[in-house]
Each structure stands twice: as C-alpha cells, then as structure tokens.
C-alpha cells in the first residue's frame, strides 16, 4: 500500500492507495485502524459488494444505507443520518467511514462534520468521479430548494482510501462521466496525463490507479493553496458553468460528465475568442471522443433555453460572472465577463456544440 499526504494550514488528508484490482481485503485491513466506526454506505455498493463488506458492517457501531440519488442529497437525509448516529449511541471518538460516490460522500461527510460538532472522517470513494475529485478537498454538502450544495462545510477527510476494484462494478456510462473530470484535471494541470489519455483506450488496472493518483496530485496542489474556494480553487470549475446549465436544460438526460465535457468544449472556444490556444477545442473534442463522451448536444437540447438558463445563473453578479476558461494546457484562467459581453459571445459559442 502507498500513502500520500496533502495538507493545508488547517488540515491534512492522507490518501492510501490499495491495490488496483485487489479485492476489498486490503480496504478492510486498512479500516481496522479505526475501531467500530459508524458507516454511511451507498445502497448499490452495499448490494454489489455485500460479502466483502459484511465483516466491516458487523464490526461497526451503526450504519446508514443511502440511495445515491441527487434528489435524496437533502436536509431530510442529513437529519436521518444524525438520527441513526444518535440511535447507535455514537460518541465524539467514533470515526465515520463513508463508502460511496459523490452524493453519498458529500452527504455522509456533512453529517460527520456536524454531528457532535465534528467526528473523524474516512472516505472510501467508489466511483471514478468521486475518486478523482470529490473525495479530496473537504467540500461537504446537501442541496436545498433544488439548488446544489447550498448547505455544507469544508471538512477534509482525515484519510481517503482508494480502491479501484470498486470501478469493476461501475456502470460504463458513470465510468465515462468520471473520465470527463479526468480530462478536465489533465487540462488544468497535467499535460503528460493528457498525452497518456490521447494515446490509449480506456485505462484499466494499475494504469487506472495511476490516472486517479495523478488527478489527485493536481487537485491536491490547488486545494492546498485555497481550501475555502475563495480564489484559485475556482479553476476546478472549468467546463462546469456551461456544463451545469446543459445538465439542467437536458432534464438531466445528460450525465454530469457528459455535460461537463461539452462545457469544456464551449469554454475552450470562448477562450479562443480571447486569444487562447486555437488547437485546444479540437484536442478536447478528440479526448472526449476517445473516452466515449459526446462532442455535440444532439437535437433535443433547446439552445435558446440554455442561453437563458446561463444568463439567469445565480452565480451571476451585476459586475459579471467569473469563468474558469482553458487558454491552453495547464493555463486555465479566471476571467470576469459582464452579462453584456456574455450576451454577445454565448449564442455563437453554444451553436458550436450543435456541429
Ligand atoms: N469539485 C470542485 C472542487 O472541489 O472545488
């Protein structure tokens, strides 16, 4: 097993890599260090890996099994987790182990960071998206009144345990969704990873663990600088401004990763308008294709609606909105664009997604 540490002024996270294709024995062995934890467990993972998880469940203080659905990432589920923690009689020295993808990790981590004013937290991400992004950097949260992550804390996990064996049971579409975040991370901070992705089919085995670790190295550097997302961390939102609007506008038929991939294309085209690398949109298109992700929206996405969704985005201020635009490899810039300027630029950019 290998170990990495990322620290900020306020906290540190150890990332433990278990064997790439190993079964969960190594994860269970590692978790033995935290006696009788409270578990928050993804229901799908629970049924797919029930035999492997049984010893862990048997030795836990209590368990909350959560369905990984965005609509359940809310304050009701959060209070149900608190109630289960109370019913299990856990104390301030009970560690919380959360096993699941982004929805379960964000919700479970918020419960851990608030119950009894904060308990030790261990995350075991089970989706590619969560492994390469959500598990590191301390963001916890639930949605409120239909808006994403409106209630949350910054509470980095003490330990993240990476076990890519979980990805064997991940549906293909969810795996591809994670690949969009891998491409985003490569664009932001790892040119070599981009070249590796270009030359390969889907990464697997040890190579996959290497891809995950490289992504976490990039994210770790960014998070160390700006844990609380007040400045430079915002570059991690690259592709997400157009991406989130596309996701809603498609009625969530586009997955998060599919929408972010298209968002990266649109935002790279915006950067070209401002002097960015002209070859980048084509390179992104080819990386997306290689990963089996869409490079156009298809006829069902009403671009007019998309445009108005973007202009109504709650992150817009009167002075403009901060975009994280890829000007080139490892050259993502935060640019404030006024709503007047956006109105001039967006229609042309969004039309490019229809080609
Ligand atoms: N997923 C973006 C961030 O952690 O800031």
**Residue in 234, 235, 239, 250 with CA at minimum distance from that of residue 309:** 250
Atom of ligand 1 nearest to the CA of 219: 4
Ligand 1 center to residue 65 CA distance, Å?
A: 25
DSSP string, 56-79: HHHTSSEEEEE---GGG-SHHHHH
8 Å CB contact between 142 and 103 = no
**Following CA atoms 34, 14, 185, 41 in sequence, which dihedral angle do they give, to the nearest 10 degrees?**
0
Neighbour tally for 119: CB within 10 Å: 21
User: Which ligand 1 atom minimizes the distance to the CA of 233?
Assistant: 5
**Cβ of 212 less than 6 Å from ligand 1:** no
Q: Is 240 in the pocket of ligand 1 (CB under 6 A)?
A: no
- Ligand 1 binding pocket includes 170 (Cβ within 6 Å): no
Look at residues 198, 337, 325 and name the one whose alpha carbon lies nearest to residue 266. Answer: 325
Residue 327 phi/psi, 5-degree rounding, is: -85, -20
Strands (E) in 46-170, as ranges, are: 62-66, 96-100, 121-125, 142-144, 147-151, 159-162
Model-level pTM? 0.92
Q: Is the CB of 215 under 6 A from ligand 1?
A: no
Residue bearing the CA closest to ligand 1, atom 2: 236
Q: How far apart are CA 148 and CA 5, in angstroms?
A: 29
Residue 28: CB atoms within 10 A of its CB come to: 16
184 lines ligand 1 (CB under 6 A): no
* pLDDT at 347 (0 to 100): 84
Measure CA of the first residue to CA of the last residue in the chain; give whole Å: 46
Q: Write the CA distances from 162 to 15, 111, 124, 265, 297, integer angstroms.
A: 7, 21, 6, 30, 33
Instruction: Determine contact, residues 324/234, Cβ cutoff 8 Å.
Output: yes
Query: Contact, 239 vs 261, CB < 8 A?
Result: yes
Cβ atoms within 10 A of the Cβ of 79, count? 12
Whether the Cβ atoms of residue 241 and residue 321 lie closer than 8 Å to each other: yes
Task: State residue 13's pLDDT score.
Answer: 82
Q: What is the pLDDT of residue 316?
A: 63
pLDDT tens by residue, the chain, 355 residues: 667 777 766 667 888 877 655 568 888 888 888 899 999 999 999 999 999 999 999 999 999 999 999 899 999 999 999 999 999 999 999 999 999 999 999 999 999 999 999 999 999 999 999 999 999 999 999 998 877 889 999 999 999 999 999 999 999 999 999 999 999 999 999 999 999 998 776 777 778 889 999 999 999 999 999 999 999 999 999 999 999 888 878 877 889 999 999 999 999 999 999 999 999 999 999 999 999 999 998 777 777 777 777 766 656 667 788 999 999 999 999 999 988 888 888 888 888 887 5
As given in the structure block, the two tokens for residue 171 are 């549906």
């Amino acid at each position: 097993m290998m170990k990495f540490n990322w620290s900020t002024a306020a906290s540190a996270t150890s990332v433990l890599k278990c064997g790439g294709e190993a079964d969960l024995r190594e994860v269970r062995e590692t978790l033995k260090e935290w006696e009788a934890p409270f578990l928050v467990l993804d229901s799908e993972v629970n049924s797919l890996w029930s035999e492997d998880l049984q010893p862990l469940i048997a030795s836990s203080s209590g368990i909350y099994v959560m369905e990984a659905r965005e609509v359940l990432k809310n304050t009701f589920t959060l209070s149900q987790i608190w109630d289960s923690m109370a019913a299990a009689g856990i104390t301030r020295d009970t560690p919380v182990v959360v096993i699941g993808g982004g929805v379960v990790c964000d919700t479970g981590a918020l419960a851990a960071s608030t119950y009894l004013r904060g308990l030790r937290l261990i995350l075991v991400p089970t989706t590619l998206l969560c492994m390469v992004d959500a598990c590191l950097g301390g963001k916890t949260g639930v949605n409120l009144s239909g808006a994403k992550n409106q209630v949350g804390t910054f509470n980095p996990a003490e330990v993240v345990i990476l076990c890519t064996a979980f990805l064997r049971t991940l549906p293909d579409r969810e795996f591809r969704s994670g690949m969009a975040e891998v491409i985003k991370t490569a664009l932001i901070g790892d040119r070599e990873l981009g070249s590796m992705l270009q030359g390969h089919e889907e990464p697997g085995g040890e190579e996959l663990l290497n891809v995950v670790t490289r992504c976490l190295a990039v994210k770790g550097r960014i998070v160390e600088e700006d844990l609380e997302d007040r400045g430079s961390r915002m570059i991690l939102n690259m592709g997400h401004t157009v991406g989130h609007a596309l996701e809603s506008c498609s009625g969530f038929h586009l997955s998060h990763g599919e929408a972010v991939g298209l968002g990266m294309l649109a935002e790279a085209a915006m950067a070209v308008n401002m002097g960015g690398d002209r070859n980048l949109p084509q390179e992104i298109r080819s990386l997306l294709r290689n990963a089996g992700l869409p490079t156009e929206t298809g006829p069902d996405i009403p671009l007019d609606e998309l445009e108005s969704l973007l202009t109504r985005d709650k992150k817009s201020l009167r002075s403009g909105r901060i975009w994280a635009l890829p000007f080139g490899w490892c050259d993502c810039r935060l640019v404030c664009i006024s709503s007047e300027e956006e109105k001039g630029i967006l229609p042309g950019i969004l039309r490019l997604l229809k080609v």
